[in-house]
Amino acid sequence: MKLTFLGTGTSQGVPIIGCNCNVCQSTNPKDKRLRTSVLIEINNHTFVIDSGPDFRQQMLREKVQKLDAIIFTHEHKDHTGGLDDVRAFNYIQKKPMEVYCEKRVSDSLKNEYLYVFSESKYPGLPKININIIDENTFKIFDVEIIPIRVMHLKLPILGYKIGNIAYITDANYISEIEKDKIKGVKVLIINALRKEEHISHFTLSEALKLIEEIKPEKAYLTHISHSLGLADEVEKELPKNVFLAYDGLSVDVNTKSKSG
């Protein structure tokens, strides 16, 4: 299994339009962050978790030739805004894109992309087949996926455990029952927005506390804002098994990592 970080930034991405801070003006590629998403390659299948506004750019950068499914964590625009671009895969693969999400997220997609789901089908529109999921384990082909219920302020969203990797973004609370699902994973990916307290995201210290509790072999921080600081400087503050994710970073099942 291989996981590639398609994007590791917040809803505005990094750099932020019009911002002159040292992070947004940095020339270090690790400080350039598209909206948060990951690519999963497992058992000859390819999945994406979330397709935000940068989806097209991310697919082109990683030279993705085949995509079997998109799995959504929740309905916010920075996680769903690129869904229209599945049209390219519809054309190549000659079939609808399989989408997995909760009923509430499905309702939001049908409202946001009304033209896709209308009875009147204009030629060339995206073709999407929605599969409703909940907190129960489900399978895509032969791949078992365990949903992890987390809270994004008052919004219940889903993280996912696939094999020995757990992926959680846009969270600021995880119950003890849900923590038990991910204890012992080799790789934990968790959001760490900034150092200062935030209403709906884990801070750096909160993410590190959770990592210490879960005790993965390695942990990667994602959904990072410019407020967290320069990547090279923040890396110096982290425990030896914790890393700042960056766009294009790949992590394989045996936890070795390499730049993508």
pLDDT of 255 reads 41
Residue 20 inside a domain? The answer is yes
| 253 strand-pairing partners | none
Q: Does 207 score more than 60 pLDDT?
A: yes
Which residue range forms the structural domain that includes residue 20? 2-244
Residue 260 inside a domain? The answer is no
Residue 77 inside a domain? The answer is yes
Q: Are the C-beta atoms of residues 212 and 241 closer than 8 Å to each other?
A: no
Q: What is the mean pLDDT of residues 231-237?
A: 97
Lowest-pLDDT choice from 16-30, 148-162, 205-219, 241-255: 241-255
Q: Does 256 score more than 80 pLDDT?
A: no
Mean per-residue pLDDT of the chain: 95
Residue 257 inside a domain? The answer is no
Residue 219 inside a domain? The answer is yes
Tokens found for residue 74: 């929740």
Give the C-alpha separation, 200 to 54, whole Å. Answer: 22
Q: Are the C-beta atoms of residues 52 and 82 closer than 8 Å to each other?
A: yes
Give the C-alpha separation, 116 to 124, whole Å. Answer: 10
Per residue in 136-189, pLDDT (tens digit) is 999 999 999 999 999 999 999 999 999 999 999 999 999 999 999 999 899 999
Number of structural domains the chain divides into: 1
Residue 259 inside a domain? The answer is no
Tokens found for residue 21: 């801070």
| 219 strand-pairing partners | 188, 242
Q: Are strands 257-259 and 249-252 parallel, antiparallel or unpaired?
A: antiparallel
Residue 90 inside a domain? The answer is yes
Could you tell me how many residues make up the chain? Answer: 260
Question: Residue 50 in 3-state DSSP?
Answer: coil
Q: Are the C-beta atoms of residues 253 and 217 closer than 8 Å to each other?
A: no
CATH of the domain at 112: 3.60.15.10
Q: Within 13 A of 93's CA, how many CA atoms are on the CB side?
A: 19
Residue 158 inside a domain? The answer is yes
pLDDT of 254 reads 64
pLDDT band for 48, please (50, 70, 90 cuts): very high
Closest to 102 in 3D by CA, of 162, 170, 148 = 148
Q: Are the C-beta atoms of residues 50 and 37 closer than 8 Å to each other?
A: yes
Give the C-alpha separation, 33 to 50, whole Å. Answer: 15
Give the C-alpha separation, 75 to 55, whole Å. Answer: 15
pLDDT of 162 reads 97
